Structure 1
C-alpha cells in the first residue's frame, strides 16, 4: 500500500521551545496540586484521597506485569512511529488495538491478577456487588431511583448510584451468559476499552486525513491513561463513546445511513452508561460541523441518527427508569457523600493536573499546537485545523465537566472518555520518539510507585 504524503507543515523554529514551555507549565501544575493537596489533606482531611490529586496510595512495587510493560513500551517507542507510517491501514488498526490491549493488561498485572484485574470491580463501591439484585431486570429498573439516596433502604453502592442502570446491567448480562465474576468483568473492560484508540484513529482519518491519524497512533496506543483503563468500567464507557463518535464521522463523510443509525444507538447507550457522558454531545457537534457538507448533500442521514438515538432512552423509559429523576437524586447523593466535603476551590484546577497525568506531557504540547493552530486563519479548512477543532471540542467538554463541580477527584478515571480524544493532538508533534519515551516513563512510574484505586 502506498503511504499518503505528509500533510503537516514544518513547525516554526520556536515551536519546539514553546512545546517545552507548555510541558514545563504542566509539571508545575502537577507539582502544585501534589503539594497543596498534601497540605489540605494533612490539615483539614477534606480531599478524601491519599495521594492528591490522585485517588492512590504511595506503594513502590514491582509485579508480574513489569517485564511485559517495559517490553511493550520499548517496542512502541523504537518501532511504533515507523510502523504506523508503513503498515497498510487495515493492518494498522488491529495492530494498534492488540498493542493497546497488551499495554493495558501488562500495566494492570503490575499489581497482580487479583489486585490489578479480578478484584477491581468487586469492591464494595463497584457494580459486581449488585448482580444478585437484578434477578428481575424490569422490576429493578422500575425501582432503581428508590435506592439512590444514602437514606433510602438498601441504597446502591457509590458507583451504581452514580451511573444510569446500563452500567451495572452490562455486568449483569455478562453474568447471565456465563462470564460472571471480577476476572471476566476486568477482561471485558480492558479488551473493549482498548478499542477506543481504534475508534479515534478511524475518526481522525475520516475528518482530517490518514497521515495525521498515523502520526497519532503510537501515542494512542502508549497512553498513560492505560494505567486507569485497566481495570475500570470507565475504560469501557470511553470505548462506547468513542465508537459513537467514530460512526458519526463515517456517516457524515461516507454518507452512510447505517453508520448514522449505529452512531445514534451508541450515543443513546453512552448517556445511559454515565450521566456525565452527555457531554460527548460537544464532540459529536464538532463532528457534525466538520461533516456539514455531507449532511447538506444527504440530510436524510439525520433520520437514522435520531432514530438510533431514541432507541436506548425509549427502552429504559418504557421499562420504568426515569433518567432525569435519577440524575436529580444523584446530585443529592453526591453531596451526601465526599462530594459535599471535597473543596471545589482545589479540585477545579487539581482535576486538570490529573488530566496531565493521564494524557502525559506530549498531549500538553499537542494541545498547545491545537489551540494555536485554530487561531491561524490561513490554516482554516486544512486537515490540521480539522483535527485541532476535534481536539478542542474534547477539551471544551472536559472543561465543562470540570466547572460543573460534579467531578471533584477521581477524574483520572472519570474523564477517560475525554482523554482518549486529547491524545490525538500528539499527531502535531515533531520527534515522536522523544515524546513517546516521556509518555512511557510517566505511565511506568505512576503504575510502579502508586497503588491506584477507586
Structure 2
C-alpha cells in the first residue's frame, strides 16, 4: 500500500510541476511579447490584468477565511447535515468572494467595477423600450457605427444586458447593486454543483468537492463580473437536469436556454448537459426531450421579439476581429489560455483531472476489450469503478465526478481551439471551471487540506499581486 500511495502522490506532484512550468512559460513569454509590443493587450499575460501589488480592507478577512476553510472545511463537509452544509457553503463563498473584491477597496472592487464604458451598465440608460431593443439588437453589434453597442454588450446575446436592465427596473440600478448581484448569484455554484453530484448518486463526491468550490480562485473574477452569473445559471440548469421527476428537467432546460442567450460560448455547455442526462439513473430520453423543449421555448421567445441567436453569433465573430482579437497572436494564447485557466481553477485541478482520466480510460478499455477479443461480455469488470490506486479515496467511484470533469475539459478544449477565446478566459471560462473542479473528489482524503491551501494561496496571490480587470 505504501508503494501505491507514493506512486499516486508522485504522479500528483509531477502534474503540479507541469502546471508550474506552464504558468512560468506563459508569464515569461508574455513578458517578452509585451516588451516587443506584440499586441497581447494584457499587461500581466496570461491574465488580463496589470502588475500592482496591494493590500486592502478585504485582506485580513480573506486570509482568515481561507485558513478556516483549510482547517475545518473537509471535516465539516463530511459531518454537517446536507441542508446546513449547502447553506454554510453558500455563505462562506459569498464571504470569500466579497473579501477578495474588497482587497481592491469598496469603490474600485465593487461600485466602479461594472460601470466602465465596456460594461453592460453603460448601456442600461439607453434601453427605454425592451421590444425595440431586442428587435434591433443585431443591427448594433458591429463596431465603428454611431449606435454600436459597447464591447461586452455587443459580445453577448441580449440576455446579458437584460439582466442589468432588469435590476435597474426593480430599483437595484448602479454599480454596487450589480456587483453584489454577481457575487450573491455567482456563489450559488457552491450549491448547484454538489446538488448535481448528489442527484446523480454520488453524495461523497459532492461533499468532497464543496470546500474547493468555496475557495475557488475564480472568485477573484466572480466578484465582480457577469460571468459569475453565467456560471450560476448553467450550474443551476444542470442541477435540475440531474434531479428525478418530470418537471425538473424542463425547468433545467429553461435555465440552459437562458444561459444560451447570456453568452454565445455557453452553447458548449450542451456537452455537460448531455453528460448529466447520460448519468441519470432513469428516464433519460424523456428528460432529454423535456429539457430540449425548455431550451426551445426560451429561444422562441427571443425569436418572437426579433433576436435570432445564429444571426447574433455570426455578427459577433465579425465584431471580435474588429477589436483586439485581430492583434492577439493565437500561437501564444492557444496554450497560455490554459495557464490563465489554471489560475482560475487552482493547482488542484490538474492532478485531480489526471486521476479522473485513468479510471475513465480503464472503463473505456473494459468496454472495448470484448469487441476486440470476440467475447459476448458487454459490461465492464466488477472492479472497473474502484479507485485506481490506494491513494484514491475509497468512497468515490468512477462516476459523475469523473465524467463531468472530463466533459468540462472537452468543452475547454473546444473553446480554446475555436480561436474565439484569446485571453480573458480566467473570467470567460468560469462556467466550465467549476465543473473541472469536481475532479478533486478523486484526490486522497488525507491530502485535500494541502490542495485546499494551494487553492487559497493562488487566489490571494493573484488578488494581491495583480490588479484584475473584468
TM-score if structure 1 supplies the norm length?
Answer: 0.94
Change (3 A) 1:11 1:418: farther
In the TM superposition, 1:320-331 aligns within 5 A as 320-331=306-317
2:417 to 383, 403, 408: 403
Q: Tell whether the 8 Å contact from 1:133 to 1:140 is kept in structure 2 after alignment.
A: no
In the TM superposition, 1:382-421 aligns within 5 A as 384-386=397-399, 387-421=401-435
Q: Secondary structure at the match of 2:50?
A: strand
Give unmatched runs, 5+ long, in structure 1. Answer: 1-9
TM superposition shift of 1:221: 0.7
TM superposition shift of 1:152: 2.6
Q: Secondary structure at the match of 2:87?
A: helix
* Higher deviation after alignment, 77-86 or 376-385: 376-385
State the match for 1:437 in structure 2. Answer: 453
In the TM superposition, 1:2-401 aligns within 5 A as 12-250=5-243, 254=244, 256-291=245-280, 293-295=281-283, 299-377=285-363, 378=381, 380=384, 384-386=397-399, 387-401=401-415
Give unmatched runs, 5+ long, in structure 2. Answer: 364-380, 387-395
Q: Tell whether the 8 Å contact from 1:208 to 1:384 is kept in structure 2 after alignment.
A: no
TM superposition shift of 1:42: 1.2
Q: Tell whether the 8 Å contact from 2:47 to 2:426 is kept in structure 1 after alignment.
A: yes
> 2: distance between equivalents of 1:331 and 1:303?
30
Q: After TM superposition, which residue ranges in structure 1, 4 or more long, deviate above 6 angstroms?
A: none
> 2: distance between equivalents of 1:55 and 1:384?
38
2:436 to 419, 422, 432: 422
TM superposition shift of 1:285: 1.1
> 2: distance between equivalents of 1:370 and 1:337?
38
TM superposition shift of 1:195: 0.3
TM superposition shift of 1:101: 0.7
TM superposition shift of 1:376: 2.2
Q: Secondary structure at the match of 1:451?
A: strand
Superposition RMSD in Å: 1.4
TM-score if structure 2 supplies the norm length?
Answer: 0.91
TM superposition shift of 1:11: 6.4
> 2: distance between equivalents of 1:353 and 1:301?
36
Q: Tell whether the 8 Å contact from 1:105 to 1:230 is kept in structure 2 after alignment.
A: yes
Change (3 A) 1:420 1:215: same
Deviations 1:261-307 (A, max 9, x none): 1111001001000000000001111112212x4125xx443443222
Question: Which one has the bigger helix percentage?
Answer: 1
